[in-house]
């Protein structure tokens, strides 16, 4: 079937540590992925995206890794800060961009301890 | 702020009530969306409007009725809802409906409770 899921529903880290949030997808036709951050009381916010022709993409303090062999996506946050505390979820697009249809994962709650 | 506002932020309604959710975007975008976010479930797309025309209805029950009078405003009219409809309803907008081209900007959502 087509599904996007997360391995860990919650993740607690110490401030300054690196965080890794994982996402598994089952549709091998998916060729575009997005990570979102949702803080309490707010809507989701785009963090970073990656196309299937890439294995890695870096942003500011964030890196997304894509392993198409095992259909796995991860978001790495370097030097995690209290402001990074939020729910993070991934989304996949297997429409080829022709017909908007993102499938979203459930989310992982990241808690950063001072 | 993302430039997308939603009102009300919280709404409690009975199953026989009629209410409306409002979304307004100040970004000059052409596309607007309604999403449903339930506890412990992934974000679900409900409707897509592009240039005021509905381009996607994701098998949403007719008790949810969207309205898009112009590219800046989007409404979700609610009628005869069920308790399982309680959720966070999110509005979003983007310049283009292709997520690979344009990022969607989300509003803060309306927390709906159906009694």
> B31-83: per-residue pLDDT in tens?
999 999 998 789 999 999 999 999 989 999 999 999 999 999 999 999 999 99
Can you give the pLDDT at residue A29? 87
Angstrom distance (rounded) from CA A109 to CA A19:
12
- Between B109 and A94, where is the model more confident? B109
Measured between CB atoms, which of B43, B44, B98 is closest to A97? B98
Contact A100 B56 (CB under 8 A): yes
Contact B42 A43 (CB under 8 A): no
Contact A32 B99 (CB under 8 A): yes
pLDDT higher than threshold 60 for residue B97: yes
Enumerate chain A positions whose Cβ falls within 8 A of a Cβ in B: 4, 32, 34, 41-46, 49, 51, 89, 91, 93, 97, 100-107
> A15-34: per-residue pLDDT in tens?
999 999 999 988 888 999 99
What is the rounded average pLDDT of the residues B86-106?
92
**Range of weakest confidence among A43-57, A74-88, B89-103:** B89-103
Q: Do residues B94 and B103 lie in contact, with contact meaning Cβ atoms separated by under 8 Å?
A: yes
Contact A49 B100 (CB under 8 A): yes
Angstrom distance (rounded) from CA A77 to CA B99:
23
Quick one: tokens of B21?
A: 């959710």
């Amino acid at each position: 079937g087509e599904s996007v899921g997360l391995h860990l529903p919650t993740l607690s880290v110490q401030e300054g540590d690196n965080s890794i949030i994982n996402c598994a997808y089952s549709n091998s036709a998916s060729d575009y992925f997005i990570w979102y951050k949702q803080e309490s009381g707010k809507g989701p916010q785009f963090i970073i995206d990656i196309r299937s022709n890439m294995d890695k993409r870096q942003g500011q303090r964030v890196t997304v890794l894509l392993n198409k062999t095992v259909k796995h996506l991860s978001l790495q946050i370097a030097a995690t800060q209290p402001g990074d505390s939020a729910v993070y979820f991934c989304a996949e697009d297997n429409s080829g961009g022709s017909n908007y249809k993102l499938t979203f994962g459930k989310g992982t709650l990241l808690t950063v301890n001072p | 702020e993302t430039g997308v506002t939603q009102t009300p932020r919280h709404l409690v309604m009975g199953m026989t009530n009629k209410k409306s959710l409002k979304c307004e975007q100040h970004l000059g975008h052409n596309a607007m969306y309604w999403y449903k976010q339930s506890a412990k479930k992934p974000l679900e797309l409900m409707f897509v409007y592009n240039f005021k025309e509905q381009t996607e209805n994701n098998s949403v029950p007719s008790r949810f009725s969207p309205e898009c009078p112009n590219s800046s405003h989007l409404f979700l009219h609610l009628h005869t809802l069920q308790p399982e409809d309680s959720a966070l309803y999110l509005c979003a907008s983007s310049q283009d409906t292709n997520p690979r081209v344009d990022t969607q900007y989300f509003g803060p959502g309306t927390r709906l409770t159906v009694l």
